[in-house]
């Protein structure tokens, strides 16, 4: 039965329970990620009824164009947010790196879950097994649709060539294995692990070879900002370290005005109560880059806060600590901007638009 915007059902004992509907992309990885969040909620709240609603997004439909060329920031999220707005679903699970740093009004990230490995991974064509990017033959072609990965790796491995490859994980692996077009492809380690394909990872790229994308490896639960009960329910899923790292990363990207169409990369860690953020911007071919590291002192304390920071609401965490994380991202962006980051990114954007 439907009452107002919510859906209710009667359980076996005749008790009326609210149904929580979770929206997800239809890809296998999106379903696995959504199921993992649903399982956690079910464990924490055994009485709730969950219903998973799958839908296709623009990003899933346009498979023949490089992501950075489509230029739409909310490629994989728009349809899901529309469903959220129309009360067709109550929460949506995303890869945090797909979520723009400014969310549409009325939405917020109610939970950022403990981060999987944020690093990129090299997956080799079966014939190259045992090799690394260093030892692949001259002019080997590496598939990646990410400007960030290509810019860093061109600089680091000048003997390799880089070409676009699109499609979900299954499609990309199929393209790699069944054709001779690519010697290897670069994918996020987190996705491969979640799919149970860890055995395909030939090499993990450490930050000195390739820093990762903002929010990479973290899952985010997006909700309607006015839904206090749902916000309360999902807030228990927040992982404090991941929240602070991702607030700093998102603030850095937002202040640089970066998106899918410019090469921006980060690396963060929380060590001895300090939050460290390394951020970098690159020209498309990686020949020009700016990179720096800053840190802030963190003291974790429990406080109820109802403020959004770069789209994230973490009610149970100290507001001051979150502010410092956001400030860190902004300060580092300002430092790089003062050294000429704007020019590098503007040229990268123009060149990418002209491709």
Which residue from 251, 243, 246, 331 is spatially nearest to 295, judged by alpha carbons?
331
Cα atoms in the 13 Å half-sphere on the side-chain side of 116: 21
**Same domain, yes or no, for 11 and 103?**
yes
- Model pLDDT for residues 113-141, shown as the tens digit of each residue: 999 999 999 999 999 999 999 999 999 99
Q: Cα(32)–Cα(26) distance, rounded to whole angstroms?
A: 10
Which residue from 312, 215, 211, 314 is spatially nearest to 259, judged by alpha carbons?
215
**Same domain, yes or no, for 261 and 148?**
no
* CATH, residue 157: 3.40.190.10
- Got the DSSP string for 231-272? HHHHHTT--HHHHHHHHHHHHHHHHHT--TTS-EEEEEEEET
CB 88 within 8 A of CB 6: no
- Which residues are known to be catalytic? 98
Domain final residue pick, 162, 181, 204: 204
In this structure, is residue 209 part of a structural domain?
no
**Same domain, yes or no, for 251 and 283?**
yes
DSSP bridge pairs for 309: 312
**Same domain, yes or no, for 195 and 277?**
no
Q: Cα(327)–Cα(251) distance, rounded to whole angstroms?
A: 8
In this structure, is residue 334 part of a structural domain?
yes
Measured between alpha carbons, how far is residue 195 from residues 36, 106, 118, 158, 211 in Å? 12, 32, 15, 31, 22
In this structure, is residue 150 part of a structural domain?
yes
Q: Cα(219)–Cα(202) distance, rounded to whole angstroms?
A: 24
198: number of Cβ within 10 Å: 11
In this structure, is residue 311 part of a structural domain?
yes
**Same domain, yes or no, for 142 and 164?**
yes
Domain final residue pick, 178, 204, 230: 204
pTM over 0.95: no
**Same domain, yes or no, for 113 and 125?**
no
Helical H runs in the chain? Answer: 28-44, 58-61, 67-70, 78-85, 147-156, 169-178, 189-194, 228-235, 240-256, 319-338, 341-354
**Same domain, yes or no, for 71 and 197?**
no
**Same domain, yes or no, for 249 and 336?**
yes
**Same domain, yes or no, for 238 and 331?**
yes
Per the structure, how many domains does the chain have? 2
CB 292 within 8 A of CB 347: no
Instruction: Render each residue's pLDDT in the chain as its tens digit; 355 residues.
Output: 554 456 777 777 777 778 999 999 888 999 999 999 999 999 999 888 999 999 876 555 554 455 444 444 455 677 888 899 999 999 999 999 989 899 999 999 999 999 999 999 999 999 999 999 999 999 999 999 899 999 999 999 999 999 999 888 889 999 999 999 999 999 999 999 999 999 999 999 999 999 999 999 999 999 999 999 999 999 999 999 999 999 999 999 999 986 556 899 999 999 988 999 999 999 999 999 999 999 997 666 666 567 789 889 888 888 888 999 999 999 999 999 999 999 999 998 888 887 7
CB 136 within 8 A of CB 184: yes
**Same domain, yes or no, for 60 and 160?**
no
Q: Cα(77)–Cα(185) distance, rounded to whole angstroms?
A: 25
**Same domain, yes or no, for 165 and 232?**
no
CB 292 within 8 A of CB 278: yes
In this structure, is residue 1 part of a structural domain?
no
In this structure, is residue 79 part of a structural domain?
yes
In this structure, is residue 249 part of a structural domain?
yes
* Number of H-type helices and E-type strands within the chain: 11, 17
End-to-end CA distance of the chain: 52
* CATH, residue 18: 3.30.160.40
**Same domain, yes or no, for 81 and 149?**
no
Bridge-based pairing state of the strands 2-3 and 6-10? antiparallel
Residue corresponding to tokens 């010697």:
183
In this structure, is residue 342 part of a structural domain?
yes
Domain final residue pick, 184, 204, 224: 204
Domain range enclosing 338: 7-117+214-354
- Model pLDDT for residues 144-176, shown as the tens digit of each residue: 989 999 999 999 999 999 999 988 888 999 999
């Amino acid at each position: 039965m439907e009452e107002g915007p919510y859906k209710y059902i009667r359980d076996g004992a005749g008790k009326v329970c609210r149904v929580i509907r979770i929206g997800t992309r239809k890809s296998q990885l999106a379903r696995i990620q959504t199921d993992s969040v649903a399982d956690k909620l079910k464990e924490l709240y055994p009485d709730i009824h969950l219903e998973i609603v799958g839908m296709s997004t623009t990003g899933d439909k346009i498979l023949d164009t490089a992501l950075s060329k489509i230029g739409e920031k909310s490629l994989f999220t728009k349809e899901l947010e529309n469903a959220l707005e129309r009360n067709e679903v109550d929460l949506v699970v995303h890869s945090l790196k797909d979520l723009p740093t400014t969310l549409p009004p009325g939405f917020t990230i109610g939970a950022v879950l403990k981060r999987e490995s944020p690093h990129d991974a090299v997956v080799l064509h079966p014939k190259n097994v045992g090799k690394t990017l260093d030892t692949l033959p001259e002019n080997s072609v590496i598939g990646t649709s990410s400007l960030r990965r290509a810019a860093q790796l061109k600089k680091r491995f000048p003997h390799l060539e880089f070409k676009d490859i699109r499609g979900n994980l299954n499609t990309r692996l199929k393209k790699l294995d069944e054709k001779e077009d690519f010697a290897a492809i670069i994918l996020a380690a987190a996705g491969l692990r979640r799919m149970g394909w860890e055995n395909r990872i030939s090499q993990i790229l450490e930050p000195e070879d390739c820093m990762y994308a903002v929010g990479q490896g973290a899952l985010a639960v997006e909700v309607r900002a006015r839904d206090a009960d749902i916000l309360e329910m999902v807030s228990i899923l927040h992982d404090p370290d991941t929240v602070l790292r991702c607030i700093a990363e998102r603030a850095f990207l937002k202040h640089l005005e970066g998106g899918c169409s410019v090469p921006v990369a980060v690396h963060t860690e929380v060590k001895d109560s300090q939050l460290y953020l390394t951020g970098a911007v690159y020209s498309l071919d990686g020949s020009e880059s700016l990179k720096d590291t800053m840190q802030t002192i963190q003291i974790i304390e429990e406080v109820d806060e109802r403020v959004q920071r770069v789209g994230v609401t973490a009610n149970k965490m100290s507001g001051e600590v979150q502010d410092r994380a956001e400030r860190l991202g902004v300060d580092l962006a300002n430092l790089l901007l003062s050294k000429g980051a704007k020019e590098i990114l503007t040229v990268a954007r123009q060149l990418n638009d002209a491709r």
